[in-house]
Amino acid sequence: MTGQQQPPLAVARQRLADALADTPLRVAVHGLPGVGTSTVAAALTALGRFEVLGAGVCDSGPRRPDVTVRVVAEVPRPEDRQAAVDAAGPVLMVLTKADTCALGPGGPVATARRRCAEWTVPAEPLVGLLAVAALDAGVLDAPLLDAVRVLAVQPADLRTAETFVGGPHQLPAPVRLRLVDALDVFGIAHAVIAVRQHRDVHAALREASGVDAVAGRIAALGAEARYRRLTGVVAELSAGAVGDAALAELLTTDEVLLGRMAAGSRVLRAAGVQIGPATGAEEHLREALRWRRYGDGPVTLLHRACAADVSRGSLRLWGAIR
């Protein structure tokens, strides 16, 4: 129907299809100059789980981000707090350069994690350089890995980047400078320890970077955003379905009910609630009853709504095979 207005049912189908689509989460990454925004964006891109959007992305319309990552250094500034308020959806503060935090129990990253826990918004620490080096094979290449192996048996002065690059060592200074650019001294130390412990260097750097915790928080926030968007579309269409039998039928199809079940399940899983697979008719019925009881318990309104969707979906699956 090019050039013509689509009929209401076709528009409703498209809106539902867009809300139900299982596409990668759209993540906008921005922050004040100099805080490491591009490094955080590169790390999230290298994960391959998200569609990372630029800082100039529009916060409204069909391409709006599912989650906004606000990159901060040390503490959120007034501009960071305002950006969080202005964002269209959920926001995760990422405390970058976590390796530069003060030493404390567990090291600087643990100190950064405790600092994030004190903030009033969701926040996670990240060592961006280590995340990129762990995830992008082109950063920590074979020559640099060989250099790390040399350092594992012939230690160098790692007190600062300057003492490492300028001090005496058999590794050429340009190689040491490349290592500093790729890992900084914090990452070099972790890489050397990994070699001495016969661990995979990339895996050790990934663990030390905190990138998986950041990705987990983004996934949790994104699951909630998508669920709210889907249920909002359904609620809006339901209001228009009064007296429209075709639209009312569309809203009760397997695609919509099971899509709501899947979206609700993702929210619950992101919060740490265990949802096991169900295959037979009896298992689906037990799951329906289980989630009805869960929703009647002391849970949030969001989890009550998700539980209701999981319960309805389980009943639909039970009815289909009993």
- Residues 9-18: tens digit of each pLDDT: 889 999 999 8
Q: Are residues 116 and 13 in the same domain?
A: yes
β-bridge partners, 31: 71
Which structural domain, as residue segments, surrounds residue 162? 137-209
Q: What was the pLDDT predicted at 271?
A: 86
- HSE value, Cβ hemisphere, 13 Å, CA-based, for 228: 14
- CA-closest candidate to residue 48, choices 134, 140, 141: 134
pLDDT band at 93 (very low <50, low <70, confident <90, very high): very high
Do 145 and 122 reside in the same domain of the chain? no
Residues 121 and 143 in one domain: no
Query: Residue 105: is its pLDDT beyond 90?
Result: no
- Is 102 part of any domain? yes
The full DSSP string for 128-177 is HHHHHHHH-TTTS-HHHHHHHHHHHHS----SSHHHHHHS--SS-HHHHH
The answer to whether position 1 is within a domain reads no
Q: What CA dihedral angle connects 112, 114, 120 and 126, to 10 degrees?
A: 30
- Average of pLDDT values for 126-145? 94
Task: Please count the other Cβ atoms lying within 10 Å of the Cβ belonging to residue 246.
Answer: 11
Average pLDDT, the chain: 90
Number of domains the chain is built from? 3
Helix (H) or strand (E) holding 38: helix 37-47
Can you spell out the DSSP letters for 230-262? HHHHHHHHHHHTTT-HHHHHHTTSHHHHHHHHH
Confidence of residue 61 (pLDDT cuts 50, 70, 90): low
| End position of a domain, from candidates 178, 209, 240 | 209
Q: Which residue has the higher pLDDT, 278 or 155?
A: 155
What are 257's two structure tokens? 């009910």
pLDDT band at 195 (very low <50, low <70, confident <90, very high): very high
Query: Does a structural domain hold residue 218?
Result: no
Rounded Cα–Cα distance for residues 148 and 292 (Å): 56
What's the pLDDT score for residue 60?
52
Confidence at residue 203, expressed as pLDDT on a 0 to 100 scale? 96
In this prediction, residues 23-46 reach a mean pLDDT of 93
Return the percentage of the chain with pLDDT > 70, whole number: 95
Question: How many CB atoms are located within 10 Å of the residue 218 CB?
Answer: 26
Distance CA 214, CA 125 (A): 7
Same structural domain for residues 274 and 189?
A: no
Same domain, 116 and 154: no
Indicate if 117 and 19 belong to the same structural domain: yes
pLDDT at 55 over 70: no
Mean pLDDT within 274-287? 88
pLDDT of residue 7: 58
Band of pLDDT at residue 101, cut at 50, 70 and 90: confident
- The predicted pLDDT at position 308 comes to 96
pLDDT at 6 over 60: no
Same domain, 14 and 60: yes
Distances (CA, A) of 216 to 70, 77, 158, 222, 254: 16, 24, 32, 10, 29
Residues 203, 268, single domain; the answer is no
pLDDT (average), residues 46-61: 74
Same domain? For 95 and 173 the reply is: no
